[in-house]
Amino acid sequence: MTFAAGRRRTAGRFANVDGIPFRMPVGTPGSPALLAAYPIDPRAAREVVPEELRPHRIRGAGVLVIAVVDYQDTPIGSYVELCAGILCARSDRPAPPLPAGKVFGTGVYICDMPVSTEISVKGGLGIWGMPKRRASLDFVVGESTVSSQYDLDGQMVMRVDVPRPARAWLPLRLTGTGYASFRGMLVKSSVTLRGRMGVTRGAGPDSRLLIGDHERAAWLKRLDVGDRPFLTAFIPALRGVLDDHVESWFLTSASPLPPPGDGLGAVVGLGLGQDRLPPPDRAGSDRLLEPREHVTQMP
């Protein structure tokens, strides 16, 4: 059964998974989102993703993808979600040149996925295996810039600013694939995305990425993120549907592996809370941003 056929079959029906009530399909009818894609060291990218995946390259560089959605209407309420990961393919061979398409299992290996609410962690991690954690997040749409900041334990992990184009005209029609590690397995999920984007190629004057000194940012610092993004985009009203089908495979290695980082114990005690943590410290990140610097890493 195809993704679209499965969605039509379940449309309007109800589900209850791990105590979370869903009205199908699981998605949003229209929420603002931003996207940024940065060049990274391909060798460092290879060290971050599991052996079952192969990082893609654009002009010889790996690709860091940062996407933030301000979900305003979903079956589990409103929340902000930040996805940071590496563009890759599930293949035994080196990833082919882009676009590779479904044949090569092209998708994003999600390294970190903070969200605003407890219920989103419970569902995203427990059901879809996404590496979600509750954190302080915001989503700010200004006259010339769209921005999101991610704080954890009172420290900044990252802040991403992208230009806000004068209009969003480019049609977005995409079935995206997300890979993640959970319980010692590689988990694959799919999402359909629709909307119109305003796109900026290269580093516009309002394109900035600030990487903080929290331990959750350590993997980002290892990637040697370039100071000029491949592109950034703003989608004023993103329509998305998350597939209710999930695939998983054991993560393997030539030598014995340590216990997985996130397991079922990370979600067993979670509830259905929709409260958010206090907003990130914008004043602090404003002081750290220098007028013409696109990427800043704190010492």
Q: What's the token pair of residue 274?
A: 């929709």
- Give the per-residue pLDDT at 194: 97
Question: Tokens 């060291």 label which residue?
Answer: 41
Using DSSP's 3-state secondary structure scheme, residue 250 falls into strand
The DSSP bridge pattern shows strands 26-40 and 295-297 to be: unpaired
From residue 13, alpha-carbon distances to 5, 120, 263, 272 in Å are 14, 20, 30, 21
**What SS3 string covers 202-223?**
CCCCCCEEEECCCHHHHHHHHC
**In degrees to the nearest 10, what's the CA dihedral of 278, 280, 282, 284?**
110
CB count in 10 Å sphere of residue 163:
21
**10-residue averages of pLDDT along the chain (299 residues):** 61 94 94 97 96 92 97 95 96 60 74 98 97 98 96 97 95 95 96 96 86 96 95 97 95 92 90 96 86 57
Question: Tokens 């997300």 label which residue?
Answer: 178
Residue 291 CA to its chain's centroid (Å): 27
